[in-house]
Amino acid sequence: MFPTPEVRSVHYEKVYEPSEDSFLLLDCFEEEKPYLSTKFTDKTSSPVVVEIGTGSGIVTTFIQQNILPQGIYIATDVNPHACRAVLDTAKVNAAHSIDTCQMSLTSAIRGNSVDVLVFNPPYVPADDVPAIPTTEDDETWLDLALCGGPEGMDVTWKVLDELDSTLSQQGAAYILFCARNKPDEVQEKMRARGWVVTEVLKRKAGWEVLSILRITRQ
């Protein structure tokens, strides 16, 4: 079992605290290490790993340290406090080659350049997806971590709909769902669009059932 990165000095009133979903992603990547190591076996090139909505940075730091140390890492978040937190977490864990950029989803990432895409989205069903605050000291940044619209899928579908122009040819996306997101229906829809979809992990976490799908091209 690989060590869990240390997360220090994160202001949890503004940045998502590592939780069951974050730890499920760590377990997922531990399980996926043989698959990813084989896929990106070429020691002369570095896979581009992008985590959308990095929060504390625990997931990106874990992958860099334990799964794909040769990767180039960009940890994004729309929340500026999270962008600072990931740099702190990377530093505390001596995880080099992690950079951050504040953006919505993958809006500033070059098309078809992402080899590994990771997203633990705001998946909780809620009336609306909150508006993005306009000032750093706004009290509502944390709401963006949770509320995903009526089925908790508003933000996730934006990423799924853009996957073809985000992933490289050999790219793989890892996306987390709760049962209320209807991940079985998502699998069917993505397969109908020609994607290969594999459920990597599924686990009961409190009253939620969380799962992670790996999505790749044929």
Ligand X SMILES: C[S@@+](CC[C@H](N)C(=O)[O-])C[C@H]1O[C@@H](n2cnc3c(N)ncnc32)[C@H](O)[C@@H]1O
Binding site for ligand X (CB under 6 A): 16, 18, 21-22, 25, 52-56, 58-59, 76-79, 82, 104-105, 120-122, 144-145, 155
Q: Give strand pairing partners of 210.
A: 178, 203
What are residue 120's phi and psi, to 5 degrees?
A: -105, 95
Nearer to ligand X, 102 or 168 (CB): 102
Give the nearest distance from C-beta 192 to ligand X in angstroms.
Answer: 25
Give the nearest distance from C-beta 194 to ligand X in angstroms.
Answer: 25
Closest residue to ligand X in the complex (CB)? 53
Q: Which residue has the tokens 């939620």?
A: 208
Give the nearest distance from C-beta 91 to ligand X in angstroms.
Answer: 17
Give the nearest distance from C-beta 47 to ligand X in angstroms.
Answer: 19
Nearer to ligand X, 99 or 217 (CB): 99
Buried b (16+ CB within 10 A) or exposed e, 117-145: bbbbbbbebbeebbeebeeeeeeebbbbb
> CA 173, CA 37: separation in Å to the nearest integer?
15
Tally of residues, the chain: 218
Nearer to ligand X, 41 or 134 (CB): 134
Closest to 21 (Cα-Cα) out of 189, 179, 167: 179
Give the nearest distance from C-beta 204 to ligand X in angstroms.
Answer: 18
Distances, alpha carbon 51 to alpha carbons 58, 184, 204, 217, in Å: 11, 23, 23, 19
Nearer to ligand X, 45 or 165 (CB): 165
Nearer to ligand X, 45 or 107 (CB): 107
> CA 78, CA 144: separation in Å to the nearest integer?
9
Nearer to ligand X, 52 or 213 (CB): 52
Sheet containing 196-205: give its strands across: 98-102, 72-77, 48-52, 114-119, 167-178, 208-216, 196-205
Give the nearest distance from C-beta 37 to ligand X in angstroms.
Answer: 22
Give the nearest distance from C-beta 144 to ligand X in angstroms.
Answer: 4
Nearer to ligand X, 66 or 120 (CB): 120
| Helix, strand, coil percentages for the chain (3-state, nearest 5) | 35, 25, 40
